[in-house]
A and B are shown apart, each in its own frame.
Chain A
């Protein structure tokens, strides 16, 4: 057996030992978690792209954070809610063909998106000291879209305009999210963790938004009096 394979086996054994030893978590406990995150968003706009399609997608970086409140129903199951917010860099669609005062115009379109989400979900927890987790959440969100700006260079001078139906507005999303991660219990109160999350937002009257993020977490845990 060569060395890389041996290393993989050792890592797998360590993972099995420390992560999945007792396959249970924290009944009756409540925890509040803070998760700063870095994200990549795929933002879709209903605009004609260079190939003639009716939708263009731009990938942009963003930062944000989440705060979650969970309660342990079982040693392996937490339920709770999360509030998330993120801001993304300006999305650029170039070239973009849009309508301006009813006339078709092509240029460089930019728009910025910010979002807030409120999700409820459940977390499967598979450990005690080291806790691998799988979280599934559903919720609603608001997406704040700035007015799109089109720079048209086809004429003698550059014109910056807002295309038709692309003014600043607030869109409502229905959200599904999936997060996997691992947490480490530092003591009876504090824990830290890492996670990777994928969120899909279906807009009501707006194009979908997909976000992939990586996060760190700091959590405080206690037994509430219920």
Chain B
């Protein structure tokens, strides 16, 4: 399920990237990713303008002044499409813009520097006070590649953001789904069979590590052996394997051990510090096939060290 989810996300990312590359030139009319990030906090934006010029959009608040700043002196004329905006020179290399009212219509403003290296067509839109708006927009001349790269980066970021959010949501849903499946499986098995058997099998090794098998449980088609590892040696006992055998046939499933500390070795199930007791459990697969048969439980550390074999007193009935 996780792999299919990854595939879907991958496809979505690829599709988004392709559509971004294929989008019309107006897509240049977006601030760089840095500018987007800064806008929400400082109401500033920086646009990279390719040599052939660019079209950009800027939201502004009615009554507030927005400065358009250029890297060099502007030509004397700025063309505006609507009388609802005041446009005044702000030094040689800037323009101050103010919307005269909240009802000001969207306008476009054509500007160019004297050398002609920066040519822009700004689309100014008045937005309500609760929406973010710019008060300072900087234009920076850039190569076509730089502008395209910035635009591509921004477009990908915008495309990926909702996908990441969706991925996070799906992951959360996946965890919930797995939990629900597991709970349902346990419930089904408990309904089928739920018996507990008292056991009293004990054995030790030469290092004073003792295993007590205290009970067994029959849940659904499987059985569980509950055991304790009483470590009375002076060294930590590292549990690496738990095997259950019925004759020569191995019937054990996964094993778990609760212990107060962990081990870096991924092959170690758990550790029992010196003087401590660890509680463990091992699954016995298809327990119906071994009912009434004497089982052998063998636990061991890495490379079989400190193995303990219990071969009496473990019978599911």
Residues on A facing B (Cβ under 8 Å): 21-22, 24, 28-29, 75, 128-129, 185, 187-188, 223, 225-226
Contacts and interface: CB of A to CB of B under 8 A. Distances in A.
Interface of B: 200-206, 208, 212, 232-234, 275, 312-313
Nearest to B308: A188
Contact of B202 (A24, A28, A128, A129): A28
A188 to B, nearest CB: 5
Contacts of A24: 232
Report which residue of B204, B208, B212 has the largest number of chain A beta carbons within 10 angstroms of its beta carbon: B204
B208 A185 contact: yes
A128 B232 contact: yes
B206 A22 contact: no
A164 B123 CA distance: 139
A28 B208 contact: no
Given A22-B275, A24-B232, A225 B205 contact: no
A223 B205 CA distance: 12
A225 B275 CA distance: 25
A225 B313 contact: yes
Contacts of B212: 28
Contacts of A225: 200-201, 312-313
A24 B231 CA distance: 12
14 contacts: A22-B232, A22-B275, A28-B200, A29-B202, A128-B208, A185-B208, A187-B206, A188-B203, A188-B204, A223-B202, A223-B203, A225-B200, A225-B312, A225-B313
Nearest to A129: B208
Identify whether the interface residues of B are mostly helix, strand, loop, or mixed.
loop
A21 B203 CA distance: 22
A225 B206 CA distance: 20
B33 to A, nearest CB: 64
A57 B234 CA distance: 51
B201, B232, B312, most chain A CB atoms within 10 A? B232
A94 to B, nearest CB: 55
Contacts of B233: 128
Contacts of A21: 234
A24 B234 CA distance: 13
B315 to A, nearest CB: 11
A188 B202 CA distance: 12
Given A29-B202, A185-B208, 10 more contacts: A21-B234, A22-B275, A24-B232, A28-B200, A128-B208, A187-B206, A188-B206, A223-B203, A223-B204, A225-B201
A75 B312 CA distance: 21
Contacts of A226: 200
Contacts of A75: 232
B204 to A, nearest CB: 5
